[in-house]
């Protein structure tokens, strides 16, 4: 009889499972997929995940290595996640062992045991209960803990309090918080009723989904900005909790704002498991465990939270489902939205995708009857959709990116006591430093890109590789001294606005102003409470926020995206414009949106402004259909990069030959072409585009290809990767 063989996912760049013999003295029949084992691998030992037990191996069992140790009595990876990661590893052509690495909290990968239920936690002391948190404005995180514990009088486990240990220590030293025993009855979880009566559209959406909670149905909630989508999520999550089930909410990277959390905390006085990029390994592992044990009925997280296990899964919600940040852009290039739908199907539970600007992918799924669409066509309450104006700036002299008519409108709205939001998706002072004598421009030495001039540190920064240097004072080409900044970023606009509106408090939100921890929260609060009257920022400011008194939104430069080489550029631009515009007029006062553009007659822009996003999306989808571009076809990119020029191009040319040799006629091959920015951080990049009307054919081709490339000699000179359903093509 053959010995039993363990098939294990091992962290390694190879696209396969590895076979091992079981450890000595282990009863193989009790080993379940999803447990971890310590195994020898090369010259070291590592930790792998058991995928299956088999009684055959392609390798002679006498040559198989023996695994060393079983780390878990029962699976730490639940079966739905085990299946999902394997499926995703196949679909995205990413090595299965590394796919599991991406799907597991770091501490779990390193062998740490998930602990039992936490029995002690923190609560407010009598003194702490009396603290007025407004006196703690200088200590935002202490105030945050006090507010959180005030909402949870029965106390919270350490893992539910998302601050560094030092903050808790300080509070304990002050005598404001104290340790307590936690009761895990589930009975002390309070869910408050909605503060609003749902409007008929919201009610209908909720009722439709409520009637289908017992199985897999994908829903697309298409609701204009401010139409009350979040309220629909809250209501359905409340129902899920009442059914003793857990809900998982995925949000884009910058969607996880204090405002959203506060809303959840007000409504649900239950432990929330929060998973986002700012967590320490320990915090992440704890939140993961709370979800896995079912202690946290609600899990909220960015992209990678899709890999969070749930003891009693009931509902998955993906907010802003169109957002590009839901697709991982390097390494394991999965789409969290698509995995959410996959997982919901596997778990046989509903999945709700929500957006004011749904992706063309999801709209096509609705059109083809795979998703059920629910609509919220109106804003809640008295709020109206803002009015759009295209401002032709071809004949307007722009001063620091601002036209005179826009400045007038800003003044008018400020004089009326309202807030104004200006959007410019470019940080720094100026994107170019130029010599007026000879037209030399400052470029990055490691990228095919210009350096951005930053005023705060008087240096040139490359936004692509992070390198920086002092600002040149003399032109290196002609030795002249006429070096001047060209174009504008948020820093420059902020300065210009300060001159125009010296008495108006500004809030600028971009990556430079929010580098320090807690700073984004602080600035968003100033924007929300009206302290800041003029809000200026990049896309960090554009999405999801609710600033009730903003009545004017100015989009300083809408033209980026209209003529890009990327086929998704106009879709992204339209989504961004609608999302930014959605910050205007969310309250009683009506809003207006002014878009500065040099192409006011552009048909897609016209359509968007005159008829709105649904009309735009229909036209864009028709264009994609005509061109047979995604979502009407499947696409994959083979990307390659190398330190020498031409190597990546040569490699991809050889790949193209291999593909031609395979003779799959249903797959079209485009390229190779150098990437739009060929050199980045000193490496030369190129790509090969594969496209097919038959997803299955493309998938089979890619599977064969990655196996060949693993051992191909020419592949050793480059770093290559596959990107299935790419979010961008440059
Ligand atoms: P969205 O997620 O679509 O942007 P929200 O759910 O954030 O919309 O709702 C926008 C605003 O309207 C919020 O301030 C919310 O509290 C409020 N709101 C939501 N639903 C209702 C309702 N049925 N009646 C009154 N106000 C509501
Ligand atoms: Zn010069
Ligand atoms: Zn660079």
Q: What is the DSSP letter of 479?
A: -
Nearest CA to 307 among 49, 561, 497? 49
Residue 282 belongs to some domain of the structure: yes
| 594 has pLDDT over 50 | yes
CA-closest residue to ligand 1 atom 20: 228
Domain boundary among 78, 109, 140: 109
Does 24 lie in the same domain as 88? Answer: yes
Residue of higher predicted confidence among 647 and 521: 647
Mean pLDDT of 225-251: 95
Residue 501 belongs to a domain: yes
Q: Same domain, yes or no, for 230 and 93?
A: no
CA of 432 to the centre of ligand 2 (A): 14
Which atom number of ligand 1 is nearest to the Cα of residue 548? 14
Please write down the long-range contacts of 260-267, taking CB distance under 8 Å and 24 or more positions apart: 260/230, 260/300, 260/544, 261/300, 263/230, 263/234, 264/234, 264/298, 264/300, 265/148, 265/151, 266/151, 266/192, 267/191, 267/192, 267/194, 267/234, 267/238
- For residue 384, is pLDDT > 80? no
Residues 150 and 134 placed together within one structural domain of the fold: yes
pLDDT reported for residue 116: 59
Calculate how far, in angstroms, residue 523's C-alpha sits from the geometric centre of ligand 1.
22
Query: Are residues 365 and 284 part of one domain?
Result: yes
Kindly indicate the confidence band of residue 583, based on its pLDDT and cuts at 50, 70 and 90. Answer: confident
206 is a domain residue: yes
**pLDDT, position 544:** 72
Examine residue 458 and state whether it is found in any structural domain, yes or no.
Answer: no
Model confidence band, residue 380 (pLDDT cutoffs 50, 70, 90): confident
What pLDDT does 57 receive? 79
8-state DSSP, 191: E
Q: What is the pLDDT of residue 483?
A: 94
Ligand 1 near 579 CB (within 6 A): no
Query: What pLDDT score was predicted for residue 55?
Result: 84
Atom of ligand 1 nearest to the CA of 223: 3
Residue 73 has a pLDDT of 86
pLDDT of residue 260: 85
pLDDT of residue 186: 46
In the chain, % helix, strand, coil (3-state, to 5) comes to 35, 25, 40
Atom of ligand 1 at shortest distance to CA of 198?
Answer: 23
Point out the least confidently predicted range of 170-184, 385-399, 696-710.
Answer: 170-184
Give me ligand 3 centre to Cα 677, in Å: 10
User: What spacing in Å lies between the alpha carbon of 76 and ligand 1's midpoint?
Assistant: 39
Which numbered atom of ligand 1 lies nearest the CA of 227?
A: 3
Rounded mean pLDDT, 446-466:
94
Say whether both 396 and 531 belong to one domain. yes
- Could you give the angle at which helices 603-611 and 613-627 cross, rounded to 10 degrees? 150
Pocket test for ligand 1, best of 193, 221, 226 (most atoms within 8 A of CB): 226
245 lines ligand 1 (CB under 6 A): no
Name the percent of the chain lying above pLDDT 90: 69
Of 51, 77, 109, which marks where a domain is finished?
109
The pair phi, psi for residue 697, each rounded to 5°, is: -65, -45
Residue 355 near ligand 1, beta carbon < 6 Å: no
Determine the Cα–Cα distance for residues 522 and 405; give it in Å rounded to an integer.
32
At 413-436, the pLDDT tens digits run 999 999 999 999 999 999 999 999
- Pick from 26-40, 489-503, 554-568 the range whose average pLDDT is largest: 489-503
pLDDT tops 70 at residue 2: no
Angle between helices 490-500 and 404-415 (to 10 degrees): 60
Task: Pick the residue whose CA is nearest to atom 8 on ligand 1.
Answer: 228
Q: What is the pLDDT of residue 386?
A: 84
Does the CB atom of residue 425 touch ligand 1 within 6 A? no
Beta bridge partners of 509: 537
Specify whether the CB–CB gap between 107 and 76 falls below 8 A: no
In a domain, 456, yes or no: no
584 or 255: whose pLDDT is higher?
584
Q: How many domains does the chain have?
A: 5
CA distance 478 to 687: 37
The three-class DSSP label of residue 151 is: helix
For ligand 1, whether the C-beta of 585 sits within 6 Å is no
Side-chain half-sphere CA neighbours of 24 within 13 A: 0
In a domain, 473, yes or no: no
Instruction: Determine if ligand 1 sits within 6 Å of the CB of residue 582.
Output: no
> Considering the domain boundaries, does residue 593 fall inside one?
yes
Confidence of residue 20 (pLDDT cuts 50, 70, 90): very high
142, 85: one domain: no
Residue nearest to atom 23 of ligand 1 (CA): 198
- What's 556's domain CATH number? 3.40.50.300
More confidently predicted of 428 and 132: 428
| Mutation probe of ligand 1 site: the residue of 200, 220, 221, 228 with most atoms within 8 A of C-beta | 228
492, 520: one domain: yes
Strands (E), 242-291: 246-250, 268-269, 272-275
Q: Is the CB of 202 under 6 A from ligand 1?
A: yes
The CA 500 to ligand 1 mean position distance, Å, reads: 35
Structure tokens at 458: 């008087």
- The answer to whether residue 264 scores a pLDDT higher than 60 is yes
Residue that wins the pLDDT comparison between 631 and 380: 631
Q: What is the pLDDT of residues 266-289, one digit of tens each?
A: 999 999 999 988 888 988 999 999
State the pLDDT at residue 159.
66
Checking if the pLDDT of 446 tops 90, the result is yes
Ligand 1 atom with the shortest distance to the CA of 544: 4
Displacement of CA 442 from its chain's centroid (Å): 32
**pLDDT digits 0-9 by tens, 283-339:** 899 999 999 999 999 999 999 999 999 999 999 999 999 999 999 999 999 999 999
pLDDT of residue 329: 92
Q: Same domain for 76 and 162? A: no
CATH number, domain with residue 649: 3.30.70.600
Q: Would you say residue 541 has pLDDT above 90? A: no
Q: How far apart are the first and last CA of the chain?
A: 54
In the structure, what pLDDT confidence band is assigned to residue 480 with cuts at 50, 70 and 90? very high
Q: Is 198 in the pocket of ligand 1 (CB under 6 A)?
A: yes
Ligand 1 lined by 255 (C-beta under 6 Å): no
Q: Cα(436) to centroid of ligand 2, in Å?
A: 7
Q: Do 131 and 31 fall within a single domain? A: no
Instruction: Count Cβ atoms below 10 Å from residue 52 Cβ, excluding itself.
Output: 12
Q: Which residue, 319, 400, 385, 310, is CA-closest to 352?
A: 319
| Distance, CA of 274 to chain centre | 14
Which CATH number covers residue 90? 3.40.1440.60
76 DSSP assignment = S
Q: Of 576, 584, 590, whose CA–CA distance to 543 is shortest?
A: 576
- pLDDT averaged over every residue in the chain: 91
Q: Are residues 406 and 522 in the same domain?
A: yes
Q: What does the alpha-carbon distance between residue 93 and residue 115 come to, in Å, rounded to a whole number?
A: 33
Instruction: State which ligand 1 atom lies nearest to the alpha carbon of 319.
Output: 2
Residues 158, 239 within the same domain:
no
Domain interval for residue 329:
190-376
In a domain, 133, yes or no: yes
Beta bridge partners of 534: 420, 506
Ligand 1 centroid to Cα of residue 242, in Å, is 22
Indicate whether 365 and 291 sit together in one domain: yes
Among 109, 129, 156, identify where a domain stops. Answer: 109
pLDDT of residue 185: 45
546 contact partners, CB below 8 Å, separation of at least 6: 226, 259, 528, 586
């Amino acid at each position: 009889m053959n010995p039993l063989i363990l098939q294990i996912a091992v962290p390694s760049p190879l696209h396969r499972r590895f076979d091992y013999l079981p450890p000595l003295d282990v009863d193989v029949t009790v080993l379940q997929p999803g447990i971890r084992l310590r195994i020898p691998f090369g010259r070291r030992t590592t930790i792998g995940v058991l995928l299956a037990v088999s009684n055959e191996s392609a390798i002679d069992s006498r040559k198989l290595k023996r695994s060393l140790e079983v780390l878990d009595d029962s699976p730490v990876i639940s079966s739905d996640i085990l299946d999902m990661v394997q499926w995703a590893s196949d679909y995205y052509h990413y090595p299965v062992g590394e796919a599991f690495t991406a799907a597991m909290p770091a501490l779990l990968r390193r062998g740490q045991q998930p602990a039992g239920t936490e029995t002690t936690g923190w609560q407010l002391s009598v003194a702490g209960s009396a603290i007025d948190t407004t006196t703690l404005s200088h200590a935002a995180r202490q105030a945050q803990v006090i507010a959180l514990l005030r909402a949870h009088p029965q106390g919270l486990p350490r893992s539910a309090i998302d601050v560094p240990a030092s903050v808790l220590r300080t509070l304990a030293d002050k005598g404001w918080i104290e340790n307590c025993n936690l009761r895990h009855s589930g009975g002390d979880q309070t869910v408050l009723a909605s503060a609003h009566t749902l409007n008929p559209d919201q009610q209908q959406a909720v009722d439709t989904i409520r009637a289908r909670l017992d199985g897999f149905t994908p829903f697309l909630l298409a609701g204009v900005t401010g139409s009350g989508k979040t309220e629909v999520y809250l209501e359905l999550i409340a129902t899920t909790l009442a059914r003793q089930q857990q809900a998982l909410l995925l949000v884009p990277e910058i969607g996880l704002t204090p405002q959203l959390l506060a809303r959840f905390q007000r409504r649900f006085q239950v432990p929330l498991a929060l998973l986002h990029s700012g967590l320490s390994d320990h915090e992440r592992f704890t939140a993961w465990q709370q979800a896995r044990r079912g202690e946290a009925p609600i899990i909220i997280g960015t992209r990678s939270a899709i890999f969070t296990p749930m003891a009693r899964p009931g509902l998955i919600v993906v907010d802003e489902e169109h957002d590009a940040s839901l697709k991982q852009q390097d390494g394991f290039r999965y789409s969290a939205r698509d995995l959410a739908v996959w997982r919901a199907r596997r778990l046989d539970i509903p999945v709700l995708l929500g957006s004011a600007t749904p992706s063309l992918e999801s709209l096509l799924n609705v059109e083809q009857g795979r998703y059920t669409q629910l609509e919220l066509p109106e804003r809640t309450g008295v709020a109206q959709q803002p009015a759009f104006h295209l401002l032709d700036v071809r004949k307007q002299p722009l001063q620091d990116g601002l036209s005179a008519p826009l400045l007038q409108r800003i003044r008018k709205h400020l004089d009326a006591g309202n807030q104004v939001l200006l959007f410019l998706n470019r940080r720094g002072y100026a994107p170019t430093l130029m010599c007026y004598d000879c037209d030399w421009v400052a470029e990055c030495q490691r990228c095919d890109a210009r350096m951005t001039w930053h005023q705060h540190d008087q240096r040139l920064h490359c936004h692509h590789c992070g390198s920086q240097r002092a600002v040149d004072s003399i032109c290196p080409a002609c030795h002249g001294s006429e070096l001047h900044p060209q174009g504008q970023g948020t820093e420059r606009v902020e300065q210009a606005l300060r001159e125009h509106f010296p008495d108006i408090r500004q809030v600028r939100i971009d990556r430079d102003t929010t580098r320090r921890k807690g700073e984004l929260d602080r600035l968003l609060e100033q924007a929300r409470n009206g302290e800041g009257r003029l809000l200026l920022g990049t896309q960090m400011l554009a999405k999801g926020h609710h600033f009730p008194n903003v009545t004017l939104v100015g989009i300083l430069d809408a033209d980026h995206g209209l003529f890009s080489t990327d086929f998704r550029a106009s879709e992204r631009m339209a989504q961004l414009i609608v999302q930014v515009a959605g910050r205007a007029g969310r309250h009683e006062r009506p809003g207006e949106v002014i878009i500065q553009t040099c192409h006011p007659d552009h048909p897609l822009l016209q359509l968007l402004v005159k008829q709105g996003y649904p009309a735009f999306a229909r036209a864009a989808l028709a264009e994609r259909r005509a061109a047979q571009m995604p979502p009407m076809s499947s696409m994959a990119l083979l990307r390659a990069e190398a330190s020498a020029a031409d190597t990546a191009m040569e490699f991809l040319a050889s790949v193209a030959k291999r593909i031609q040799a395979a003779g799959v006629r249903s797959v079209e091959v485009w390229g190779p072409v150098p990437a739009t920015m060929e050199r980045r951080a000193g490496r030369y990049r190129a790509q090969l585009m594969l496209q097919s009307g038959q997803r299955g054919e493309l998938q089979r081709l890619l599977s064969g290809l990655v196996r060949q490339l693993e051992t191909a000699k020419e592949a050793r000179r480059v770093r290559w990767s596959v990107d299935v359903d790419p979010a961008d093509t440059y």
